[in-house]
């Protein structure tokens, strides 16, 4: 995770914009796109500490990724 937004709407909007750019660039694996976008958009303080404590992807980190993936899937359905 980079030094971006804390857990807030601005971070979510930024993650969505990053994900959309990745998809427009040809990325198709929505889980991977969402994971990368979350890593680029949110501050390391949001999930990295919990990931370290848990020794794996923390619940908050997984929820951010899953929420973004759901948004992407919903947007894709609405476009079709």
Strand partners, 42: 5
Rounded Cα gap, residues 28 and 51, in angstroms: 26
What pLDDT was estimated at residue 3?
47
Other beta carbons within 10 angstroms of residue 62's beta carbon come to: 17
26 in helix, strand or coil?
coil
Question: Does the global pTM surpass 0.85?
Answer: no
Model pLDDT for residues 4-25, shown as the tens digit of each residue: 455 567 888 899 999 999 999 9
Which sequence spans correspond to the domains of the chain?
A: 9-79
First vs last C-alpha separation in the chain:
32
Rounded Cα gap, residues 18 and 50, in angstroms: 23
């Amino acid at each position: 995770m980079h030094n971006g937004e804390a857990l807030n709407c601005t971070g979510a909007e930024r993650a969505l914009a990053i994900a959309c750019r990745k998809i427009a660039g040809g990325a198709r694996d929505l889980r991977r796109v969402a994971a990368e976008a979350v890593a680029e958009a949110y501050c390391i303080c949001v999930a990295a500490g919990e990931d370290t404590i848990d020794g794996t992807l923390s619940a908050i980190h997984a929820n951010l990724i899953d929420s973004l993936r759901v948004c992407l899937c919903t947007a894709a359905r609405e476009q079709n």
